[in-house]
Amino acid sequence: MAAFPFHVLTPFAGKSTTIRRPREFTYFSFDDEHKLLPLSDASLSYYYPAFFQHASLTPHRVDLSAGFDSFRQRDDGVDEHLDALLDTLQAHEERELERARDDAEERKLEDVRCKADVVTWRGMMTKFLTAPFDDFNEFEMNATCFQVRHHYRYTLDRSMLTVSSFVEENHQSKEAQRQSQNAQRPRPGQASQELMQFWGYKFEALSTLPQPWPEATRESIESRDEVVVNNHAQYCSIVRTGIGNTSLIIGGEVDCVLGQKPDNIEDPVPWVELKTTAELQSNHPRELVKFERKLLRYWAQSFLLGVPIIVVGFRTPNGLLTGMQELKTQRIPSEVKQGQRTWDGNVCINFTAAFLDVLKATVVGEGVWRIRRRKNQKVIELMKVEESGTGQIVKESFKVHREKLMALEISAKLGQ
């Protein structure tokens, strides 16, 4: 078993390590029935602020609980593994392969395969990034190393042997935590976990449009409060990025875009992340510390996918929306440093870079590893739980696809 202790954060202090700006290179959607649509932006939403006033200018507090009875909620009990991410990577590579075959400039086949040291969901990376300052951040993940082994002896170029670690959440542990949270009775006057989760989805429905604003009708804009809230549909961005010595492919849901996505894929996308939180009762340091701790997660989630704007909706304890605040993701760490200094963004980044080095050195060869961090413990453990195979982390169809792709790469090398 390997262990990554961090009882002392001094080794991670100072200037942050090298960071590669996240760049979207492909994407997928889930439709209203949660059916996967690789390479589709059908579920992309467009930001348009929620209304706070009627035409009469009478102050109006939006009730985030409205529509809870008709909420179409996705079943979180299903273990989806990395399937949607891998299916989309496969579809992307197959499309790039066709382009390479048709390309008059003879695009190299070896450029078709999406290479990275680690492939995972944004949620997993968020847990790593926030771990130094979040003592309640307990998690269990599964990791495996996949490589096309039986082609190695034919390989002419060692650069073709790029090996990736695939990391997913341990669904059994996640489900146990969720059931434990839902079983807790709310304090008198406090909303249930299910209702508070709904408030977040309701705020998204109030703050987005299904088409760009110039194409939206006045009716669709003004009737957003009447839309049946549905969390089946999602737009997920897949980015290439890197922290320290580790290259990453990360997939994650994005709430909406401000305006439209740029035509040039090299340009940053003006994504907007939507959050709801309890309104600040005062400027007492205790209240500010509590809010800064929430900002840690907001920042980490947005930083990893390159989301530049976070819009926070403030609500009362009974779910009335009272105001909004727009935050710039890149400014949050410096604002925290000037405030209660609850956390340090550079420490988070350096910590993550160091842990990823340990992850790459540990998850090698055959088998499945468990990555575990217990609540209030300053150590991440990595232990081997299966001696062979990849568990259910890497689906068989993706393995077959990668083997075929590797065979084509080798054939092209031999034909040179």
- The reported pLDDT for the residue numbered 409 is 83
- The reported pLDDT for the residue numbered 117 is 97
- The reported pLDDT for the residue numbered 151 is 45
- Asked if 41 contacts 302 with a C-beta cutoff of 8 angstroms, the reply is no
Q: Which of 250, 253, 247 is nearest to 359 (CA)?
A: 247
**What b-and-e string marks burial along 147-182, b requiring 16 or more CB atoms within 10 Å of the CB?**
bbeeeeeeeeeeebeeebbbbbbbbebbeeeeeeee
- Asked if 138 contacts 170 with a C-beta cutoff of 8 angstroms, the reply is no
- Asked if 169 contacts 252 with a C-beta cutoff of 8 angstroms, the reply is no
- The reported pLDDT for the residue numbered 150 is 46
List the beta strands (DSSP E) in 255-294. 256-257, 271-278
For residue 70 the two structure tokens come to: 């008709």
Please name the helix (run of DSSP H) or strand (run of DSSP E) that holds residue 126, with its range, or none.
helix 122-130
- The reported pLDDT for the residue numbered 176 is 84
- Sheet containing strand 46-47, edge to edge, reads 62-63, 320-328, 309-315, 271-278, 256-257, 46-47, 208-209
> Which residue's entry shows tokens 């449009």?
209
**What Rg, from alpha-carbon coordinates, does the chain have?**
23
Q: Which parts of the chain register pLDDT below 50?
A: 53-58, 105, 150-156
Q: Distance between CA atoms of 227 and 288, rounded to whole angstroms? A: 34
| Start-to-end CA span in the chain (Å) | 45
- The reported pLDDT for the residue numbered 52 is 57
Q: Distance between CA atoms of 255 and 142, rounded to whole angstroms? A: 27
For residue 304 the two structure tokens come to: 């990893």
Q: Is 211 helix (H, G, I), strand (E, B) or coil?
A: coil
- Phi, psi of 59, rounded to the nearest 5 degrees: -55, 140
Q: Distance between CA atoms of 365 and 397, rounded to whole angstroms? A: 20
- The reported pLDDT for the residue numbered 211 is 95
Total domains in the chain come to 1
269 to 237, 307, 362, 391: CA distances (angstroms)? 10, 8, 35, 35
Domain enclosing residue 133, as ranges: 2-414
| Average pLDDT of the residues of the chain | 91
- Give CA torsion, residues 141, 306, 353, 288, to 10 deg: -80
- Helix, strand and coil content of the chain, in percent to the nearest 5, comes to 40, 25, 35
- Asked if 281 contacts 287 with a C-beta cutoff of 8 angstroms, the reply is yes
- The reported pLDDT for the residue numbered 103 is 72
**What b-and-e string marks burial along 342-365, b requiring 16 or more CB atoms within 10 Å of the CB?**
bbbbebbbbbbbbbbeebbebbee
Count of beta carbons in the 10 Å neighbourhood of residue 247 = 18
For residue range 375-414, what is the model confidence (pLDDT) as tens digits? 999 999 999 999 999 999 999 999 999 999 988 888 877 7
Q: At what angle do helices 285-305 and 122-130 cross, to 10 degrees?
A: 140
Q: Which of 355, 341, 350 is nearest to 12 (CA)?
A: 350
